[in-house]
Amino acid sequence: MAAVDKSEQAEPAAEGGIRRRDFLNIGAAAAGGVGAVAFLFPLINQMNPSADVLALAQIDVDVGPIQAGQAIKTMWRKQPIFIRNLTPAEQAAANAVDTGSLRDPQTLDERTKEGHRNWLITLGVCTHLGCVPLGAAEGEPKGEFGGYFCPCHGSHYDTAARIRKGPAPRNLEVPEYEFISDTSVRIG
Determine, following the binding rule CB under 6 A, whether residue 71 of this chain makes contact with ligand FES. Answer: no
Q: Phi then psi for 104, rounded to 5 degrees?
A: -130, 85
Amino acid at 2: A
Q: Does the annotation count 156 as an active-site position?
A: no
Determine, following the binding rule CB under 6 A, whether residue 94 of this chain makes contact with ligand FES. Answer: no
Instruction: Give 154 or 188: the residue with its C-beta nearer to ligand FES.
Output: 154
Q: What are the strands, taking DSSP E only, across 67-154?
A: 71-76, 79-85, 119-123, 146-150
| Interface of this chain with ligand FES, residues 131 to 170, rule: CB under 6 A | 131, 150, 152-155, 166-168
Determine, following the binding rule CB under 6 A, whether residue 80 of this chain makes contact with ligand FES. Answer: no
Instruction: Give 63 or 168: the residue with its C-beta nearer to ligand FES.
Output: 168
Determine, following the binding rule CB under 6 A, whether residue 126 of this chain makes contact with ligand FES. Answer: yes
| 165 three-state secondary structure | strand
Binder among 61, 90, 122, 128 for ligand FES (CB under 6 A): 128
Do residues 100 and 152 make contact, with C-beta atoms less than 8 angstroms apart? no
Do residues 168 and 126 make contact, with C-beta atoms less than 8 angstroms apart? yes
Determine, following the binding rule CB under 6 A, whether residue 129 of this chain makes contact with ligand FES. Answer: yes
Q: Smallest Cα–Cα separation from 107: which of 98, 115, 42?
A: 98
Interface residues with ligand FES (CB under 6 A) are: 126, 128-131, 150, 152-155, 166-168
Active site residue ranges: 153
